[in-house]
Amino acid sequence: MKDKINVLSLFNGMSTGHTALDNLGITLDKYYSSEIKKAAIELTQHHYPKTIQLGDVTKWREWDIDWQSIDLLLSGSPCQDLSIAGSRAGLKGNRSSLFFVFVDVLEHIRQVNPKVLFLQENVGSAPKLDVGIMSRALGVYPVRINSNLVTAQLRDRYYWSNIRTIEEGMFGDLVTDIPQPKDRKIMFKDIIENGLNDNTQLPNLVYVKNEEVRVKTNTVDGYDVMTENDCLNLAFPDSTTRRARVTKGKSPCLTEANEPLYSLQCKQINPSIEAGEQPHNQNRVYHADYKMPCLTESFARRLKVKDYSVRILSKVELCRLQGFPDNWCDVISRNKAASLLGDGWTLPIIEHIFQYLPFNKSN
């Protein structure tokens, strides 16, 4: 097994592949990144200043690379034309057709290094026709993994890889053989920060009635009840079909199109004053374990459902939805982080897949 490897990452984004390799203790010699987003490059160079930036993926034939030395090729080609939330133009779309650039690069490397390993990712809502086309182009069928097993986010994705495969069916089709990760049972409530750090109010769509916080939706009842365990998506507030959506227990898939996402926080207003101060439980937020505090007669008299805040998810919470450390995106703005995280990979999923790489691991 090799002690150091060379990696080429197409559509590199925020270098999740690099982070996963580091966390597994796989030593890198060179890490090449093809990326054009300025914020993505800034974040990558902050964490990994030795990264070799190559620029536009469509100009790959101009790159000065020892192609034979590439051990691992990574690709998360654009999903916008494949996603159910996108145009559905499929692989013929201007952005998702870049998948075939990845295929060209892979075939070029295979000519000089037939043993190169690869990972390609795309959305679980991709049309079956396009999934079949991609599978035949790569010579392997994908495994389908939802990030909700390892994070608080619903993120259904296909992963094509020759890292570990198995032959299946009458014709011995090659299939990506990555087992499903163990369910960590992380819920949306588990990633929410303590404290009311934003008082964004949405009076037109969020309101209180019959002791419930309700969200106007295009359902039979005309609303959904929102609790502190739920995530609110208001990406299309004026839509006649999906005005607002409440996702129970998890967040919806984090994408730039779904932003911003919101959480609900209810407050206990504790009027007790000790020595002229209110040192304990003032404006306390109850959400950490989806429980309300002990219900006593005195507490019941002062509990007001109207004491709530609906706020945009913080940068820390967005990082947690993709399995990153809280401070990972500190050098960029909240909205830039949301864009990169939404376009990127779920870190614990990539770590799970990479544990099957045949390279030396120190962790």
Strands 284-285 and 27-34: unpaired
Q: What are phi and psi of 343, to 5 degrees?
A: -85, -10
Write the single-letter amino acid at 157.
R
The dihedral through the CA atoms of 266, 272, 273, 274 has a sign that is negative
Euclidean distance between CA atoms 329 and 313, whole angstroms: 14
Cis amide prior to 127 (ω within 30 degrees): no
Euclidean distance between CA atoms 255 and 344, whole angstroms: 9
Euclidean distance between CA atoms 192 and 10, whole angstroms: 32
Euclidean distance between CA atoms 259 and 178, whole angstroms: 31
3-class state of residue 101 by DSSP:
helix
Tokens describing residue 299 = 């507490």
* Catalytic sites, residue numbers: 79
Of 170, 134, 312, give the one whose Cα is nearest residue 235: 312
Strands 117-123 and 230-233: unpaired
Q: Which residues contact 136 (CB under 8 A, 6 or more apart)?
A: none
Of 36, 15, 23, give the one whose Cα is nearest residue 352: 23
Contact criterion met (CB below 8 Å) for 162 and 249: no
Contact criterion met (CB below 8 Å) for 259 and 342: yes
Euclidean distance between CA atoms 294 and 149, whole angstroms: 31
Euclidean distance between CA atoms 50 and 18, whole angstroms: 11
Euclidean distance between CA atoms 173 and 166, whole angstroms: 8
Tokens describing residue 333 = 């703005």
Of 297, 335, 331, give the one whose Cα is nearest residue 315: 335
